[in-house]
Amino acid sequence: MVRRARRINRELAEVYYYAHPELDFENPFQLLVATVLSAQTTDLRVNQTTPALFAAYPTPEEMAAADPERLEALIRPTGFFRNKAKSLLGLSAALRDRFDGEVPDNLEDLVSLPGVGRKTAHVVLGNAFGRPGITVDTHFGRLVRRWKLTEQTDPEKVEAEIAEIIPKSEWTMFSHRVIFHGRRVCHSRKPACGACPIARLCPSYGEGETDPEKARKLLKYEMGGMPGQRLRPPADYPGQPAPPLGAE
């Protein structure tokens, strides 16, 4: 199992050599806010929403002082905007009052912020501070179970078991690669098994469409010839940038 896990990681690294966080951000505060907003919506919708949000409130101090109704209006496209606005106001105030306006670079302090759990904290630690972490979202959990790397469903238990078989230095990038694969190929309802680059390594091959032509039609984002989720993707991204809000 360990050998299979590490081989999957190596082969995904070749396929998704450009794997990256799919949220647009310029600093740790922006990544923290964007990750909180990403709950129950797509990274694309968050990326289309945050330019106006960060133009209005570029710092924790300014966001903490925001008018709640205006903040809600700005983040409405991401859904659940009232609860998310409460989280953003609370975490911004906590950053202002407890951390001198700076996002902390450790797990304990991050998860003490309103609306911030382990998943969000690991996204920030891994991508804003370069500290390895495993991000267990729905895609990650689904795929590691399909690959028989764990039987756990609780995210913390999944994180702990995968941490035992993937080298710590690879945790952040393994998370990106798995999530990329889950979004593009190994979908929840109908995985594109016939177009999967690691099909021969997958114990669950055959759960989805195995016909290569039909499977190729299931591919998403750059794998399917469509725009990605970032308005400002990295330079090595092989696909098209996503359109701004209202231009889809």
Which residues are tagged catalytic?
Answer: 119, 137
Picking from 107, 84, 91, the residue whose alpha carbon sits closest to that of residue 29 is 91
Contacts of 122 (CB under 8 A, 6+ apart): 107, 133, 134, 135, 159, 172, 175
The CA-based dihedral angle spanning residues 221, 222, 226, 230, taken in that order and rounded to the nearest 10 degrees? 70
Please give the Cα distance from 102 to 95 (Å, whole number): 6
Judge contact between 131 and 177, C-beta under 8 A: no
Q: Which residue has the tokens 């669950």?
A: 204
What is the full DSSP assignment across 144-191?
HHHTTS----SHHHHHHHHHHHS-GGGHHHHHHHHHHHHHHTS-SSS-
